[in-house]
């Protein structure tokens, strides 16, 4: 008997979690879904509405937005102020070809061009935001 290809459920990558220091957002969320999620902090929703939504379509996923972001984008300054980090799966070619998890600061991640990210085999998994930075962000 042959097994059919498994279909990955996109909802597995749409989550919001928090711990004592950070907020974690699954990268497959789009901004409309984040605004509709009652668990997402109100202040982050306000930041999305006031700063991010004006330059980005609501249907854009966090993954796509971060992947193509440049240092000239206004949104980059917002994420930099929030001390954002990007958790990725990155392809490692060695004895065993495999993906490794890596956490980039927003500065280092945006410094890579989309072509470099593709060559490195980067897949964006999660946006991590400091709770202290979110608290200190003046809306």
Q: Which CATH architecture fits 13-136?
A: 2-Layer Sandwich (3.30)
The DSSP string of 55-76 is TS-TT-BHHHHHHH--TTSHHH
pLDDT at res. 52: 93
Which strand (E) or helix (H) includes residue 135?
Answer: helix 131-136
Per-residue pLDDT band for 9 (boundaries 50, 70, 90) equals low
pLDDT at res. 93: 76
pLDDT at res. 139: 84
Residue range 59-118, pLDDT digits in tens: 999 999 999 999 999 999 999 999 999 999 998 877 677 888 999 999 999 999 999 999
3-state secondary structure of 50: helix
Q: Higher-confidence residue: 86 or 139? A: 86
Query: Across-strand partners of 99?
Result: 91
Domain chopping of the chain, boundaries? 13-136
> Does position 56 have pLDDT exceeding 80, yes or no?
yes
């Amino acid at each position: 008997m042959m097994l059919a290809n498994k279909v990955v459920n996109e909802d597995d990558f749409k989550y919001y979690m928090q711990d004592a220091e950070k907020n974690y957002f699954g990268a497959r969320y789009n901004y409309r879904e984040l605004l509709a999620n009652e668990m997402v902090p109100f202040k982050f929703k306000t930041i999305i509405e006031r700063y991010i939504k004006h330059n980005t379509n609501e249907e854009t996923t966090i993954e796509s937005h971060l992947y193509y972001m440049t240092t000239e984008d206004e949104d980059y300054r917002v994420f930099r102020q929030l001390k954002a980090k990007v958790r990725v799966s990155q392809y490692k070619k060695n004895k065993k070809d495999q993906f490794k998890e890596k956490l980039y600061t927003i500065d280092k991640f945006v410094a890579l061009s989309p072509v470099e990210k593709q060559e490195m085999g980067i897949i964006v998994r999660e946006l991590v935001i400091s709770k202290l930075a979110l608290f200190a962000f003046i809306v």
